[in-house]
Chains A and B, each alone.
Chain A
Amino acid sequence: RKEVEQDPGPFNVPEGATVAFNCTYSNSASQSFFWYRQDCRKEPKLLMSVYSSGNEDGRFTAQLNRASQYISLLIRDSKLSDSATYLCVVKSTGGFKTIFGAGTRLFVKA
């Protein structure tokens, strides 16, 4: 079983749609969780951290369920510019060992 698993994708959605990504992790001792965005042939960029209480940044909402060991990302009112690969990232205790999910590709179409 992979340490971090994500929805296989790709997701093809129309502009304005709401789309949700899920991610599960296997190490119950994991401490920090993030969603990164990666555009084609570019480096990953931090989209948002994920906190136990859930957090929202504009159209993006991230949630963490420690009991079930999953993380989610919700994108509302999708824009064309949201098309990218979204990476679920989990850090182990101590915060230095970082595990990346394989990523979920999102295509938003007009």
Chain B
Amino acid sequence: GAVVSQHPSWVICKSGTSVKIECRSLDFQATTMFWYRQFPKQSLMLMATSNEGSKATYEQGVEKDKFLINHASLTLSTLTVTSAHPEDSSFYICSAIAGVYNEQFFGPGTRLTVL
């Protein structure tokens, strides 16, 4: 199947700093990528849909000024958590659609811990 990578795989930062997470489609082009957040023992919650060359579409309740998304190329989308706080600590996962059946492939996730 298609491969989606994320970087970094984990990050620990101080409260108030900004953290950038990269999501790459390695062997295919993705005009659309998705960003999810998952808290412990909960399911994935869609944060936003990232569209190449245009603004991201955010889900209700997700602050677009806090979670900046940039989809500058067909293989790269970035999520920047600005002024991170401990409550932003979570598992962030990106995904992209690929294949004739529109299967969704996930990146390995980034575990963010804000101290």
**Cβ-based interface call for B103 (8 A):** yes
The reply to whether B103 and A42 contact each other, CB–CB distance below 8 Å, is no
- What 1/0 flags go to B71-108 for Cβ under 8 Å of A? 00000000000000000000101000100011111111
24 residue pairs of the A-B complex, CB under 8 angstroms, read A34-B104, A41-B91, A41-B111, A42-B108, A42-B109, A43-B93, A43-B108, A43-B109, A44-B44, A44-B106, A45-B106, A46-B1, A46-B104, A46-B105, A87-B44, A91-B102, A95-B102, A96-B32, A96-B102, A100-B45, A101-B43, A102-B42, A102-B43, A103-B43
List B contacts of A32 (CB < 8 A).
Answer: 102
Number of contacts between A and B (CB, 8 Å)? 43
Question: How many residues does chain B have at the interface if contact means C-beta atoms less than 8 Å apart?
Answer: 22
CA distance A41 to B106 in the complex (A): 13
